[in-house]
A = this chain, B = another copy of it.
Amino acid sequence: MIRIGVDANGGDLGVAATVPASLKALSLYDDIEITLFGDEHKIKPFLTTNERIKIVDTKVTMDMGEHDPINAVRKKKDSSLCMAMYAAKNGEVDAVVTSGPTQCVVMASHLIIKRLPQMDRVALCPIIPNYDGKPRLVLDVGANVELKKEHFGEFALFSTIAAKEVFGMENPKVGLLNIGSEPGKGREIDKEAYEYLKNIPNINFYGNVEPNEVINCPTEIVVCDGFTGNICIKTLEGTAKGMGEMLKDEIKSSIGGKIGYLFMRKNLKKFKKRMDSKEVGGAMIFGIGKPVVKAHGNSDSYAFTSAITQVYKMVKSDLINKVVASLDVKEA
């Protein structure tokens, strides 16, 4: 049995998303057991079965507005997020899914589950929907503002194994996010990372990837420091959202637009779905001792089910042990 800890209180919708998603996951995979960490009183009305699912009661939630994530993780040990993390640390669950605040999830992973001794840094790795319908792994997007070249190497290796084991990608290519396609572009660290990645065995290094390629990406994996990655994915999210709103505005602005909408409603829905991260799961925390997936804060039940599926595959594929074995070989 694969035992998954769900932070049931987390996210904008809380139990209304996390509990139905957990029930859905139970129906999809018969080798799953779920522990819901959350407010029992609120969870109960959504619960239609007690089979393979149990509740650890806590009313405390990690707020989205926490400005000091380290302090929040230290103080709110009884929050649903931290309790799920402690259960993972103590071996009571095999993995954690949460739609809690990103920096708190990164910090709780770090401080509670702890970093793998083979990894110097922890990375946040979201899945970016692409033009061709295939997901891309981008890391780090916010766990570290600055990195050394060796960290780019660790992240490239970790994500290569994850891309193969969790997403079934064959020989995934690794790109370095940079401001030009040729070698020698970017800051000193980007030049160093390029040379370093070029010479690592067991990864398929492609070279630089420019930010305008990220949604139509020539590589399955894009590595970068957390500052650069955060700038890139936040710009991508903001632009996609803003364009969606502008399109809606323009359509609504005339009768022709409204009539046209009736005809192409299905097309526009498909368009929206293509850019929707709900389809592909959440961001993975790489570098710690247990699989953790951070779903989007506004995840509905459908998106949260994708995130549970993702963490389920991370456990089932024995991802972390495979990474550890690979890093041990590298260091030996």
Q: Which residues of A contact B (CB under 8 A)?
A: 67, 131, 142, 145-146, 177, 179, 182, 186-187, 210-216, 226-228, 230-232, 234-243, 245-247, 250-251, 253-254, 256-257, 259-268, 270-271, 274-275
Contact = CB atoms under 8 A, between A and B. Distances in A.
Contacts of A251: 264, 267
23 contacts: A131-B246, A142-B179, A145-B187, A186-B227, A210-B238, A211-B230, A211-B231, A211-B232, A212-B237, A228-B231, A232-B232, A232-B235, A235-B236, A235-B239, A236-B239, A239-B239, A250-B270, A251-B264, A251-B267, A254-B266, A257-B267, A260-B260, A260-B262
A201 B73 CA distance: 40
Contacts of A210: 234, 238
A259 B260 CA distance: 7
A251 B247 CA distance: 13
Nearest to A249: B271
Given A227-B187, A232-B231, A242-B131, A259 B267 contact: no
Given A187-B227, A237-B212, A256-B264, A275 B246 contact: yes
Given A232-B235, A234-B179, A241 B212 contact: yes
A223 to B, nearest CB: 14
A187 B240 contact: no
Contacts of A274: 246, 250
Contacts of A242: 131, 215-216
Count of chain copies: 2
Nearest to A182: B67
A246 B234 CA distance: 20
A216 B243 CA distance: 10
Nearest to A254: B267
Contact of A231 (B177, B226, B246, B270): B177
Contact of A146 (B67, B187, B213, B250): B187
Given A211-B234, A239-B239, A241-B212, A246 B271 contact: yes
Nearest to A273: B250
A217 B194 CA distance: 33
Contacts of A256: 263-267
Nearest to A145: B187
Nearest to A239: B239
Contacts of A271: 246-247, 250
A214 B240 CA distance: 12
